[in-house]
Amino acid sequence: MSIAATEERGSWGGRQHTAIPGFPLTLGITLCYLTAIILLPLAALFLKSTGLGFGGFARTLLDPRTIAAFRVSFGIALAAALINAVFGLLVAWVLERYRFPGRRLIDGLVDLPFALPTAVAGISLATLYSDNGWIGGLLAPFGIDIAYTPNGILVALVFIGLPFVVRTVQPIIADLEHEAEEAARTLGATRLQIFARIVLPALLPAVLTGMALAFARGVGEYGSVIFIAGNMPGLSEIVPLLIVIKLEQFDYAGASAIGVAMLLLSFLILLAINFTQVWMRRRYGA
Res 10 pLDDT > 50: no
Q: Which of 144-148, 157-161, 227-231, 262-266 has the highest mean pLDDT?
A: 157-161
3-state secondary structure of 188: coil
pLDDT at 5 over 50: no
Check whether 181 has a pLDDT greater than 50: yes
| pLDDT surpassing 90 at residue 161 | yes
Q: How many CB atoms lie within 10 A of CB 176?
A: 15
Going by C-beta distance under 8 Å and a sequence separation of 6 or more, which residues neighbour residue 136? 128, 129, 130, 145, 146, 147
Name the DSSP letter for residue 198.
Answer: I
- Pick from 44, 20, 15, 41: which is nearest to 30 by CA? 20
Q: Return mean pLDDT, the chain.
A: 86
How large is the angle between the packed helices 118-129 and 150-175, nearest 10 degrees?
120
- The CATH H-level (homologous superfamily) assignment of domain 63-284 is MetI-like (1.10.3720.10)
In the structure, what pLDDT confidence band is assigned to residue 21 with cuts at 50, 70 and 90? Answer: low
The whole-number pLDDT of residue 20 equals 64
| Nearest CA-CA partner of 122 in 224, 12, 18 | 224
Residue 155, CA atoms < 13 Å, CB-side half-sphere: 25
| pLDDT exceeds cutoff 70 at 240 | yes
Phi first, then psi, for residue 8 (nearest 5°) are -70, 130
Share of the chain above pLDDT 70, in %: 91
pLDDT at 189: 82
Q: Which residues, 6 or more positions from 204, have their beta carbon under 8 angstroms from its beta carbon?
A: 280, 284, 286
Tally Cβ neighbours within 10 Å of residue 169: 27
- Please compute Rg for the chain using Cα positions: 23
With H, G, I as helix, E, B as strand and everything else as coil, classify residue 221.
Answer: coil
Residue 18 has pLDDT above 70, yes or no: no
> Largest Cα–Cα distance in the chain?
73
Q: Are 147 and 133 in contact (CB under 8 A)?
A: yes
Q: How much is the pLDDT for 170?
A: 93
- Whole-number percent of the chain with pLDDT over 90: 44
Q: What is the mean pLDDT of residues 28-37?
A: 91
DSSP 5-49: TPPP---TTS----SS--HHHHHHHHHHHHIIIIIHHHHHHHHHH
Within the chain, all domains assigned CATH 1.10.3720.10 are found at 63-284
| pLDDT grade for 9, boundaries at 50, 70 and 90 | very low
Is there a contact between 57 and 46 (Cβ–Cβ < 8 Å)?
no
pTM: 0.83
> Hey, what amino acid is at 12?
W
Q: How many residues does the chain have?
A: 286
> In which band, very low, low, confident or very high, does the pLDDT at 65 lie, cut at 50, 70 and 90?
very high
pLDDT at 243 over 70: yes
Query: CA nearest 260: which of 51, 93, 6?
Result: 51
Mean pLDDT, residues 40-66: 88
Q: What is the mean pLDDT of residues 183-189?
A: 83
Residue 11 scores a pLDDT above 60: no
Q: At what angle do helices 200-220 and 64-97 cross, to 10 degrees?
A: 140
Residue 73 pLDDT > 90, yes or no?
yes
